[in-house]
Each structure stands twice: as structure tokens, then as C-alpha cells.
Amino acid sequence: MNLLIARYALGLPFSRVIAMLSFQGLDVAPGTLAGVARRLEGLPAPLAAAIAARNAAAGHAHADETSWRVFGQPADSGGSRWWLWVFTAADTVVCKIAPSRSLKVLDGHYGLAAGQLPEGRGPLVLSSDFYSVYQSFSEAPPGHSLIYGTSSAAPWAPDLGQGLLRGRVRGPGHSWMPS
């Protein structure tokens, strides 16, 4: 259990976990530790799935993505530039690394099927930047809205006073929130 806590909850690299174990009198070879971790890798999967489901069911969430270099991936995965998606709700954070920056990632996280949020799900308020995928997502399922933070508008700040940004915010489900 300490191995799981050190590696996955505290995020310690194996070298520090090995040092921690040696302070406790247990000398472990890196290969042995890697083998144990490989056998335990499926253990946190149900917990990770429950955290992702709770995050996706939240009424208000923040979403963002950034490029993420991946090495050693399958040849048909689209290259080494993948995307780290972060979904933050009041009590959970979910990180997903995906080969795509497309709407499929948002649809998959929030469980959209045929452009509809899951049955019985309450409304969703999603805070994001100006990336067009978030705008497309907000136009698909009814019952949710998109909020842009003003820090996302920083590159366009000189234009705000002149009203030149009006064309970038569409529909009644979009609003502004100071960051």
C-alpha cells in the first residue's frame, strides 16, 4: 500500500520510492519495483473511473488542454504531439492524455451521445478559453452554458473596449466571468 501511495498519490518517482524504502531497511532493485508496480497498475483503475464519473457529473467545471509530447507510442497514433486535457470540478480533477484536440475528447469525458448529455444529468456550466472546440461543444447539447474567463481574452484586451470581440462569443449560452 505504501508503494501505491508514494508512487500514485504523492507522485514520487521510483528513485525516491527506492530511497524511502532503503531508509526503512528494505533494499529493492529498480527492476523489482517496476515489476511490482506493473502487477499493481490495474488496482487504482476503479477509483480513477469513479473520480472521472464524479467529475463529469459536476454542475460547474473548468476545462483546458495543452500540448504534450509522447514518445514510444504506436505508429498509427498521429505522431508525438498529443494533448493533455484537464477537467477541474469542485472536488475532483481529471487529466487525460489524448492524441486529439478534437471535440471527441469533450464528448467522451461528459458522455455525450448523439449530441445529448446523459439522461438525468443536470445542467453543465463549463469555464474555458476561446478554443473553438469549447464553442462547438456548447452548441451541441442543450441545458448547459459556456463561460469564458477574462484572462483568456488577454490577447484581445485592446479590442474589448471597441466591441470588436462580439463576433467571437456566440449564442445565449455564452457569458463572461472575470478571472
Asked whether residue 71 falls in the same domain as residue 106, the answer is yes
Structural domain containing residue 23: 2-43
In whole angstroms, give the CA distance from residue 88 to residue 103.
17
Asked whether residue 67 falls in the same domain as residue 113, the answer is yes
Helix axes 103-110, 45-56, angle to 10 degrees: 100
Please answer whether residues 145 and 125 qualify as being in contact, where contact means their C-beta atoms are separated by less than 8 angstroms. yes
Asked whether residue 38 falls in the same domain as residue 80, the answer is no
Asked whether residue 134 falls in the same domain as residue 58, the answer is yes
Asked whether residue 8 falls in the same domain as residue 65, the answer is no
Asked whether residue 76 falls in the same domain as residue 30, the answer is no
pLDDT digits (tens, 9 = 90+) for 76-115: 556 678 899 999 999 999 999 998 888 899 889 998 877 7
Please answer whether residues 36 and 72 qualify as being in contact, where contact means their C-beta atoms are separated by less than 8 angstroms. no
Confidence of residue 131 (pLDDT cuts 50, 70, 90): confident
pLDDT digits (tens, 9 = 90+) for 58-69: 999 999 999 988
pLDDT of res. 166: 47
pLDDT digits (tens, 9 = 90+) for 134-171: 877 766 656 667 776 645 545 544 444 444 344 444 44
Using only the alpha carbons of the chain, give its radius of gyration: 21
Give the number of domains in the chain. Answer: 2
Asked whether residue 57 falls in the same domain as residue 121, the answer is yes
Higher pLDDT, residue 28 or 40: 28
